[in-house]
Every structure is written in structure tokens, then in C-alpha cells.
Structure 1
Amino acid sequence: MTAFDTDAVTGRLRAAGCVFAEEEARLLVTTARTEAELAGLVDRRVAGTPLEHVLGWAEFKGIRVGVRAGVFVPRQRSALLVDEAVTLSARHGTRTVVDLCCGSGALGLALLTELATGPTPLPDLYAADIDPVAVECARDNLVPVGGRVYQGDLFDALPATLRGRVDILLANTPYVPTGHIARMPPEARDHEPPTALDGGPDGLDLARRTAAAAPAWLAPGGSLLIEIGADQAAAATALLAAAGLSPRIARSGDPAATVAAGTTSGR
């Protein structure tokens, strides 16, 4: 393989089973500054390291979000969470947003980016995750845009002054049932933290805990938005209703995504 030889890189990636070998090769070649660096990037990708971890960023909602080894890579289907948040903000206005189980902070960053084109002031953004590696990554992404990032278990991480003030609560809680983790692609199960994937026996352990505590943190008319699997819609509707929230299910087809929304009374 010669320096910056895209065809040679493509061949190595294709032989390793990379479905989008040509596009990945282009990204790796444009990222590398030297032949040695390119060889190292390609070796990591061929060994199974997620492309986003190799590059150091993931594209999400048209922006580049910084990621690093050991941090959950934002999925394109999570764009529905941001779209729903933008719609709610346009309808009701938003002063305070929380990105819970934030990982890299992609949701909060994408939401602020989209709201920045509107006529109203940007909301205050708070984010939290239990994983210290994710928290450091999220700080790199969110502090430059005014976000504040905390480490801890769900709401325990947040300042108490936010209670009753959150207009939009984004929660990309893990929703893969424990028994299904072994069936996930190696890129996910071998390189992303289990805390970002494992949702317990039915996949909804964290969603259930989040919904139960959310009413105390949401402002009147505030909304909780949780990403779920398509087959979890009925159970998610029930857990939101059990928490005293008015439930709604939103879906998109490309990419396939499902969001469970729960709203408090008051608007």
C-alpha cells in the first residue's frame, strides 16, 4: 500500500468485510497526515475498531460530533429525538434542556445547532452520564457551546436547582434487552460501554427509572423523550402513563426509529 492510495485502502477494508469500504477509505485518507498515520488508522479499522473511534468523530444531524474509544457512537436513528425536541421547542418555547445518558453529547449539540437558526434565545443545556469517559467527551463537545456536563447516575448527577424547570428532557437510555447483547455487531458489543447498551431483561430498566423520576424535574408542560425499540412501544406507553405523564409514540421510517414521549400537564 502506497501513501494515500485510496484504492489500496479500499481493497484492505473490503477484504476485512467493511460494507462501505470506498467511503470509509476516503475518510481515512483525508484524515491521515502521513503514510504511517494512515497505516495505523487502517490497521485499527481492519481489526474491528468502529470507524468513528478511528476518525475521532461521528457525523450526526449534519454536524461532526467528537467521539473517542469507549464512548457510545451516536446512531442516525436518534435524530428523531432531536426532531421531536425541535418541534416541541417551536410549539411551546424552551428555556432548559437536559440530555440524560448523554454519551458524547450528540443530542444536545445537535439540538442547540438546529435551534441556533431560530429567532428565540438558545436554551440552557445540561447533560449527564454515569461513564466518566463519556462525560469528558461530552464536555469537549458541549462546553464550547455553553453546555454543562455532569457525572452521575441519571438525575443524581444534576443540580437540584433544575427540579421543576426542565422543558425538554432527552433520554437516550440503553434499551437492548440483556439477552440480546450477544447478538449485537462486534463493533458495538466489543467497543462501546455495556452501560450504554444493556437495558435490563426487557430493555426498559433505565427508561422506567427515568420516567418515574422525570415528573419532579419537568416544568409544567415539559416533555420527556426516550428512544426505544419499535417492539417496546406498548410497554413504554404504559410506563410513561404509570409515572403520571401523558404518553405519545413518534416514529420515522428512514432510518427506522421510535421515540416515546411523555408530557406533564400545565400548558
Structure 2
Amino acid sequence: MAAPFPTGRPALVHRLRTAGCVYAEDEADLLLAAADTPAALADLTERRVAGEPLEHLLGWAEFCGLRIAVAAGVFVPRGRTALLVEAAAAVTGPRPAVVDLCCGSGATTVALAHRLAPRWLAAADIDPAAVACARRNLAGLAAEVFEGDLFAPLPPHWRGRLDLVVANAPYVPTAAVALMPAEARLHEAPVALDGGPDGLAVLRRVAAGATRWLAPGGHLAVEVSAGQADALCAAFDALGLEPSVRHDEDLDATAVTARRPA
């Protein structure tokens, strides 16, 4: 028999906490604000208890102080990716030409648009659902969103002229995807999670393309796990890129930037 639906905030908090929601109080407040009827609240609560990501239920996620629209199946922006935004902004100059690959919802692209005032700004993703979501988030920001694999859909005349390439590419090793929380592995697109046998397959392709698409002196910025940083830096070195690593223990985040020599 299904558990009775909670009739007040304390009961809702208890229901969420019992289901394993670490931030049950915050989640309860968000669900209460999102539901306009008791029936809607009951539906949202049951779906959350069943493991659906809170952000997919709300239709948005908070990222770098911004509200980013997210849709079912689309990768939910993580708080740790704020380090990638900081690292990317720190290495590029004024009014850069910027492309965000594996853009997902476009969260990183939106954050960079507010930080950098780029002269060119574009995002790309291979997943049609992510592309549709990114276009919603980037509407009105003078940014194009392309559908396709990494650099392939970009206008050819941008080759060799980009100042900054950013990529929050998948970096979870294939064997580890099954160990991820159910919220991710069951509700986000596998293409946004699976980074190949060692987790670096997509990032190596990003780096190889960056050597052709970056302008001399331009930078690549990517997110990776702390344990993968040395291997990724070695791959960047082999391509002639000059890498640097940034860690943030509070965010549990690692970003690697790499400069194409002038």
C-alpha cells in the first residue's frame, strides 16, 4: 500500500528525508512553491521520492547565481562547474570569441556570457534535447547553439580564430557509470555521462580539435576529476598545449586550462 500523502510541510520534509533526500527542508520548500494545487504537490512528491531529479521536476537549476532551465533527460548543471567558469574567465582577455562544447542546458555558456561580454559566443551539443534547452536559456544573449559532435557543426571560418574553448565533457569512466547515483544514470542522457574506458576519450578529442580551432595564444578550459588531471595534462602536452590545473576543495572540483602557444 502506498504511503499516505503528507498534508503539511513537516510531514513532507519527513517523507523526503526518509526517501534519502539530504536537503529535505530545502526541497520541501521548493516543491511547495512549485505546486499550485494539492494534486500537483502530490505528483511532484511521488516523482521525487521515486528518484526523479529535483531540477527536472522544477524545470530549473541554480547555477552561478542564475536560474537555468532544464528539461527531462538533460544533464543537470552541477555546482562544482562554477570552478570551470572561473578558470575560463581567468585565462581569456576582453571580448573573446568563445565556444562552449558539450554545453548541455547551456548553463556554462550563460554564465560566461555574463562574465566576459564575448564578441562571438556559441554553444554546441550532440543531444537534441540539450540543444533545445540551451536555446531557451541563451535566447536574447546573441549566442548561437549548434547541434552536432564537438567542433563539427561550427562555421568553418571560425577555425583558428577562437580565443576560448570551454567543455564540460563527460569524464566518468564507462564502468563507473553504473555506480553513479540513480538520479544521474537513470534520468540524464548517457552521452552526457560516459567518457569512455578511462573517462578521457571525449576530452582527448576536444583537445585535438582545440589545436586547430583556437587562435594562437587561445585557451581551452575543461572540467575533470582530480584523479584524472595528470593523465589529461600529459595528453595536452603531447598535443603541444600548455596545461595548468586548478582545484577547489570546497566545491570538490578540478579544472584544467591549456594554452595554444602563440
Q: For residues 44 and 71 of structure 2, what CA distance do their matches in structure 1 show?
A: 14
Residue type of the partner of 1:259?
A
Q: For residues 123 and 60 of structure 1, what CA distance do their matches in structure 2 show?
A: 23
Deviation string for 1:160-181 (max 9, x for gaps)? 1211111111111100001111
Q: For residues 220 and 170 of structure 1, what CA distance do their matches in structure 2 show?
A: 16
1:74 aligned to 2:77? yes
Note the 1:1-267 alignment, pairs <5 A: 1=5, 5-89=8-92, 92-115=93-116, 121-266=117-262
Offset at residue 114 of structure 1 (A): 2.7
Offset at residue 217 of structure 1 (A): 0.6
Q: For residues 95 and 205 of structure 2, what CA distance do their matches in structure 1 show?
A: 24
Contact 2:94 2:118 in 1 (8 A): no
Give the aligned CA root-mean-square deviation in angstroms. 1.3
Q: For residues 12 and 157 of structure 2, what CA distance do their matches in structure 1 show?
A: 52
C-alpha spacing 1:214/1:122, structure 2 compared with 1 (3 Å): closer
Q: Secondary structure at the match of 1:77?
A: helix
Residue type of the partner of 2:14?
G
Contact 2:12 2:28 in 1 (8 A): yes
Deviation string for 1:59-84 (max 9, x for gaps)? 11111110011000011111111001
Offset at residue 152 of structure 1 (A): 0.5
Bigger mean CA offset, 17-26 vs 6-15: 6-15
Contact 2:125 2:146 in 1 (8 A): yes
Q: Secondary structure at the match of 1:157?
A: coil
Deviation string for 1:225-251 (max 9, x for gaps)? 111110111111111111111111111
Deviation string for 1:94-149 (max 9, x for gaps)? 3211110000000010111233xxxxx54321000000000000000012212110
Contact 2:74 2:130 in 1 (8 A): yes
Q: For residues 40 and 159 of structure 1, what CA distance do their matches in structure 2 show?
A: 44
Contact 1:168 1:225 in 2 (8 A): yes
TM-score under structure 2 length normalisation: 0.95
Unaligned runs of 5+ residues in structure 1 are 116-120
Unaligned runs of 5+ residues in structure 2 are none
C-alpha spacing 1:122/1:154, structure 2 compared with 1 (3 Å): closer
Q: Secondary structure at the match of 1:247?
A: strand
Contact 1:98 1:126 in 2 (8 A): yes
> How many percent of aligned residue pairs carry the same amino acid?
54
Q: For residues 146 and 35 of structure 1, what CA distance do their matches in structure 2 show?
A: 40
Offset at residue 2 of structure 1 (A): 6.6
- For 1:118, the equivalent position in structure 2 comes to none
Q: For residues 19 and 258 of structure 1, what CA distance do their matches in structure 2 show?
A: 24
Contact 1:52 1:67 in 2 (8 A): yes
TM-score under structure 1 length normalisation: 0.93
